[in-house]
Structure 1
Amino acid sequence: MKKLLMIGVSSIALFAAPAIAQNNLSNVDQVGAFSKATVTQNGSNAESDVDQNGNGTDATRQIEVAVTQSGDGAYSKINQSGNRQQAEVIQNGDSSSTINQAGNSSEAEVRQTGDGNTSQIDQNGNSNGVGNALNSSAAGVIQTGDDNSSTVDQDPSSFSQANVDQLGDGNSSFVQQQQNSGGGGNETKADVNQNGTGNIANVLQNTAVQNGKQDATVNQTGIANSSNITQSGALNDATTTQNGNDNVSVVNQSAIAPGATATVLQTGDENRSNIQQSGAATATVTQSGSDSYGIAPPNNDSFVTQTADGAEATVTQTGELNLSNVTQNSDATATVGQTGVYNRSTVNQTATAAGALATVSQTGSPSSGGPGVGQGDNLSTVTQSGASTASVTQLANVPTNGFPSNDSDVNQSGTGSFATVSQTGDGNVSDVEQSANDASVNVTQNGLGNTSDVTQTGFGGGSVGTFVNVTQTGTGNNALVEQDSSDPSPIANTGQRTTIVQNGTGNDSDVFQTGANSIAVNNQTGTGNNSVIDQNARTNRAEVDQIGNSNTSSITQNALGNNAFVDQLGTSGTSTIVQNGTSNVVNDQAQAPTDQGGAGVRQRVGSLRAASTITQDGRQGFAEVDQGGTDNTSFITQGSSGLNGQFFANITQIGDENTSTVNQGITDADNTNDTLTAVVDQTGDNNDSLINQSGDLNTANVLQAGNFNESTVTQGGSGNTASVFQYSDSNISTVTQSGTNNAATVTQGSALPLPN
């Protein structure tokens, strides 16, 4: 029969006028019922080879082939063996098509226009399809252009559908599907659409069935885009859309990842996305931008690794040279948005972080424009090994001085903790580490070169929480907060609160809290202020407010019920408060002397180099210092290790170069009847008062309202009382009492009205 076909072609050529040498070749070999073959060759040097062997029953009784060849050099080979097979090939140009079908109810459709195109379809199984043959559809494999390549391998497979549409030159598509059963709505589908030059798409789908259904869609527009999708399992879905040049997308869903979903959208040039899923997770990656820096690809780079069911990752990158890395090993959620240039984000959610939530937003302004214009360089790292929440927002809106601009590191290993970090400017650094449960931290930094370091450990804060608020605006401010609660008692679970606000330049604030119900508040405005607070045990409170420049405050509180307050205005003001003991009670500078515990220092009225040091040991002390002027100094020591009771000191100095020292009961043994009181009020210049009391029930009261006055009071014994009033200038008073029930009163000069 083949020989007769060749003779027929030659005869037609002999009698045609004018004579045209077509040199076409057609071979048809059919065995079985209901076979049909139609070959139409309208061109030159075409070759068609059809080999059918099968039954075909219904819809309607087909094994059918239709081949249409035009142009020059077309090649088609169709081999069908089985039941109801269908095949259709339409070629215009020097292209090649091969269809192999052996099995039940498969159909294939190929349309080629151009030269150098190749199509290979292999199908063996039940109800496979590439297009919709013999129905005038534009589906299956469609190649328009030159040198496009398509391979569809569905052998062996069942209920698999594939469509490939290539428009342009040099595009390559490889689809392999191996689903061995299933049916109806559970069929596996692959759609590849390529428009441009040199695009590459690889789709590999494999299922062990269990409801089957894997969907893969690849859309490529541009030049040299590459997409690789591997799905192994059931009910997986992957979609990749690439618009631009040299974009790369890799999606890998393994056999133990049934129900995984991946969506990739790339717009621009040289973007790269890599998604690895081995659980029923969801990943969405959107990348947009073109490289104007001339750096070797990738441009924007995204890595997503998911190993747990329920994990969800969303990555959006707009700009240039951004990098995002998301690793999820638990049922957690990560959202990353990066806009600008050279932003870096890493999110790691471990196997113990089920329920964790991480949100990262990094922006450069302007976000593009090439070298020297586009901003970014933000760096964020979030590590979660507990069900906590982290939110990081960073904006670089000034020319950056190298990478990184803003830097944030959040590490959460507790449960129910919250961390919110917001940084704007350049050179800001935030480090948050939370291992406590129900802890919270809020860090906001605006400016240049600010640093915040927060650590929360221990049993956590219970329902009302352990929390920290740090707000820094300016340049070169530093904040260090460490909160640790080692006591699991309910009191410990409701304590520790820290608020640090620094506005200015070069301010430094440190807070260390261990225990229950501790509150520390630092507020510094100006330049070069320094505050250190260290609180241990229960019911401690410290508050420092420094306004001006070069103020220094250090507060250390141990034991129970301590309270400290410092308010400084001026330059080089120094306040040191140390409270140690076992019976201190919460107090503040505004309460009456009968209240127990506490210390308050206020240095104001344009103070310059004012200094106050308060040390309280023992039981129930109260100290209050108020200084205004220049070069004031106050030193108070109460109780020490003698464990005296109810000591009280109150010093008020208004004027210049005043000095007051009060030292009470430092050598006396424990006596619960002790009531030591010292009150010093100095108004004027160069006043000096020294009070030293040891013993029981001592009281000293000194008031100096003139200039160059000096008073020294020393009392030892029980029940001593000394009162000194000096109203004129250059007076000196010295009172020394030893024994019991002594009293001394010294008055020098006439009483003068005191300033308000």
Structure 2
Amino acid sequence: MKKTILTGASILALSMAAPAFAQSVSDIDQAGNANSATVGQTGSNDSDIDQTGDNLTATVTQSSSGNDADIIQTSQFNEAKIVQSGTNGSADINQNGDGEDADKRNQALVTQAGDSADAIITQEGADRNDAEVNQNGNSFAQILQTGVSQEAEAWQTGDGNDAFITQNGNSNQVGNALNASAAGIVQTGDDNIASVDQDPSTFSTAGINQLGNDNDATIRQEQRGGAGAGRSDAFVTQNGDLNNAAINQLTDDQPARQDAEIIQTGTSNTATTNQYGQDNEANVDQNGESNESTVTQQGTKAFATIDQDGTGNKSTATQGNPSGTTQLQNLVVVQDGTDNVSTATQFGSENSANVFQDGNRNTSTVTQPGFDNDVVGLMSAGINQIGDDNTSTVTQRANFGLVTVDQVGDFLTSTVTQSGATNSSVADVDQFGSNNTSTILQSASQATGPGREMTANVLQDGTGNISDISQTNTLGAPPVSDNLAEVDQSGTGNFSDIDQDGHANTADVTQSGSLADSFIIQSGSNNSATVDQSGNTDMSNINQNGSNNIASVTQGL
């Protein structure tokens, strides 16, 4: 047997060659008075705490391995806490500001339980900054606060979530930090992106709540002015996958109050609100798939509510005038079905438009650049569509106009245009059945003669009926045109054409048969034309030029 004797030098050499055990590193630097730093490490982790000031408190607790924590505190009454229980996590807290006392500290809390989570908190400025990051998964969160009375939150459960919060100003709040309620940026799922930027947005609030995967939400609020000169509220709730929401609220130095809320439940919905001016409010609620909503409000006292429940619906609403002369716009759009399209543009003053669509592939267009226009209808819907493939277009360029459009059926088409000096004109269209078409044109020029208080009423129930009404005044005074045109079609393939020019002309057409044609031309004052067609292939032609003429035609007795 051969014996081997190890000398002391040999033992030392072997010990140096052996692998080192995992170890943690903690570095604490304190300069000032009454500072407190506490570090608890289990595993192989790194911690660095730098305190310069008075009454500073820092706590780091790390378990597992590969975690890195860095806390930098200056001034006084700052408090920071980092807890990491995963692997390869990174957390940085940088506090540079003064708390008032032990009860009003600048606070920061980072809790990470997962792998490769990354959190950065930077608080600068004065008075009562709060920040909280709570991540359970592989996510990234960054909070930057500069100012007073600010609070921020970010809860992320899942992997691949990103949250960014930046607040510059006073009285800002994304959520109620370090509190169980009023959460801001809560993401539960994977690969969600949320960003909040308030610059400086005096006494503003913001919130983002995403439950699902691959959702994207952005809130930006930027108001400028002195104390009491602004208020902004914004909230986004998305419950589903692949939803996209953006709230942008900007204003100038004038006092401004802006509210925006986006709630999306479903998949692949997109909603965007842009608000400028004062006293704006926008509410978007989408419950379905692939719905798109865009709201732009410029001016003062605008109001918009859009509710889309279905698939592939698209709504675009623009209210207000950049010139600053607009106020009191009002819009309500409700779409329930598939592939419905609503476009509303309102400029001028005191406009109101309500759109209701129930069915598939319906199209509604409202344009109101005039003054004190109103589009109203059945069930408070200016354009009410029930059925499939209906189209309604309303254009109001005159003042004080009133339009009502109700469509119940399929492939119905209505076009109403009020322009020029046709102030206080009224157009009412009721369509039932299928493939019916109605066109109303009310126009006048101030140079040739105003056309105030024109009235056109169309009722269609049947198939393939066509009504065309044109009202104007080129004959001068009196300023009130007061032309009246009424069409009632309940048959098949009927055609009615009414042209009125002048004052107090009356035309009344009733078609209850098939393939009847009626033509009425009135130029002058106080003319009256009545047509009643109840047969098939009837033809009527009335031409009135002058005053006080009366014509009556009855066909199909």
In which range does the TM-score fall when normalised by the shorter chain?
0.7 to 0.9
TM-score after normalising by structure 2:
0.82
The one of 374, 387, 391 equivalent to 1:340 is 387
Output the CA distance in 1 between the equivalents of 2:464 and 2:512: 13
Output the CA distance in 1 between the equivalents of 2:40 and 2:238: 41
What is the correspondence of 1:678-717 to structure 2 with a 5 Å cutoff? none
Q: Is the 8 A contact 2:42 2:64 kept in 1?
A: no
Shift of 1:43: 2.7
Q: Is the 8 A contact 1:159 1:181 kept in 2?
A: no
Aligned: 1:253 with 2:297: yes
* 1:309–1:420 Cα change, 3 Å: same
Residue of structure 2 in register with 1:283 after alignment? 331
* 1:20–1:215 Cα change, 3 Å: closer
Residue of structure 1 in register with 2:537 after alignment? 506
Partner SS state of residue 176, structure 1? strand
Residue of structure 2 in register with 1:303 after alignment? 343
Residue of structure 1 in register with 2:242 after alignment? 198
Partner SS state of residue 103, structure 1? strand
Report the AA paired with residue 263 of structure 1. Answer: T
What is the correspondence of 1:403-422 to structure 2 with a 5 Å cutoff? 405-413=435-443, 414-422=451-459
Output the CA distance in 2 between the equivalents of 1:263 and 1:20: 50
Q: Is the 8 A contact 1:125 1:180 kept in 2?
A: no
Output the CA distance in 1 between the equivalents of 2:407 and 2:99: 61
Deviations 1:101-134 (A, max 9, x none): 1122221111111111100011101111101112
What is the correspondence of 1:35-184 to structure 2 with a 5 Å cutoff? 35-57=78-100, 60-84=103-127, 85-181=129-225
CA RMSD between the two structures: 2.3
Q: Is the 8 A contact 1:388 1:417 kept in 2?
A: yes
* 1:258–1:498 Cα change, 3 Å: same
Residue of structure 1 in register with 2:361 after alignment? 321
Q: Is the 8 A contact 2:64 2:86 kept in 1?
A: no
Deviations 1:76-100 (A, max 9, x none): 1111101121111111111111011
Output the CA distance in 1 between the equivalents of 2:227 and 2:138: 37
Output the CA distance in 1 between the equivalents of 2:467 and 2:407: 14
Residue of structure 2 in register with 1:388 after alignment? 425
Report the AA paired with residue 32 of structure 1. Answer: S
Output the CA distance in 2 between the equivalents of 1:128 and 1:345: 44
Paired residues, what number?
A: 480
Q: Is the 8 A contact 1:209 1:234 kept in 2?
A: no
Output the CA distance in 1 between the equivalents of 2:132 and 2:69: 15
Aligned: 1:27 with 2:74: no
Output the CA distance in 2 between the equivalents of 1:11 and 1:164: 34
Shift of 1:267: 0.6
What is the correspondence of 1:586-625 to structure 2 with a 5 Å cutoff? none
Shift of 1:184: 6.0
The one of 487, 509, 516 equivalent to 1:477 is 516
Residue of structure 2 in register with 1:588 after alignment? none
Report the AA paired with residue 30 of structure 1. Answer: Q
Shift of 1:160: 1.8
Output the CA distance in 2 between the equivalents of 1:11 and 1:80: 25
Partner SS state of residue 42, structure 2? helix
Residue of structure 1 in register with 2:470 after alignment? 433
Partner SS state of residue 310, structure 1? coil
Report the AA paired with residue 553 of structure 2. Answer: N
Output the CA distance in 2 between the equivalents of 1:11 and 1:96: 22
Residue of structure 2 in register with 1:677 after alignment? none
Aligned: 1:244 with 2:284: no
Deviations 1:127-146 (A, max 9, x none): 11101112221411110111
Q: Which runs of 5+ in 1 are unaligned?
A: 291-298, 365-375, 398-404, 486-491, 526-546, 548-756
Deviations 1:403-447 (A, max 9, x none): xx1111001122111111011122110001111411111111011
Residue of structure 2 in register with 1:12 after alignment? 42
* 1:58–1:222 Cα change, 3 Å: farther
Shift of 1:73: 2.5
Output the CA distance in 1 between the equivalents of 2:236 and 2:70: 32
Output the CA distance in 2 between the equivalents of 1:56 and 1:360: 62
Aligned: 1:468 with 2:507: yes
Q: Which runs of 5+ in 2 are unaligned?
A: 1-23, 30-37, 46-61, 322-326, 376-381, 444-450, 474-480
Deviations 1:318-353 (A, max 9, x none): 111111111101121121111111111110001xx2
Residue of structure 2 in register with 1:594 after alignment? none
Shift of 1:170: 0.2
* 1:93–1:138 Cα change, 3 Å: farther
Aligned: 1:523 with 2:554: yes
Report the AA paired with residue 202 of structure 2. Answer: S
Report the AA paired with residue 271 of structure 1. Answer: N
Shift of 1:20: 7.1
Shift of 1:161: 1.1
The one of 378, 393, 414 equivalent to 2:412 is 378
Q: Which has the larger radius of gyration?
A: 1
Residue of structure 2 in register with 1:368 after alignment? none
Shift of 1:46: 2.2
Output the CA distance in 1 between the equivalents of 2:287 and 2:64: 45
RCO higher in structure (CA 8 A, sep ≥6): 2
Output the CA distance in 1 between the equivalents of 2:173 and 2:40: 37
Output the CA distance in 2 between the equivalents of 1:320 and 1:179: 41
* Higher mean displacement: 417-426 or 131-140: 131-140
Report the AA paired with residue 333 of structure 1. Answer: D
Report the AA paired with residue 538 of structure 2. Answer: N
Partner SS state of residue 165, structure 2? strand
* 1:33–1:113 Cα change, 3 Å: same
Output the CA distance in 2 between the equivalents of 1:89 and 1:227: 27
Residue of structure 2 in register with 1:363 after alignment? 408
The one of 310, 324, 347 equivalent to 1:268 is 310
Shift of 1:484: 1.1
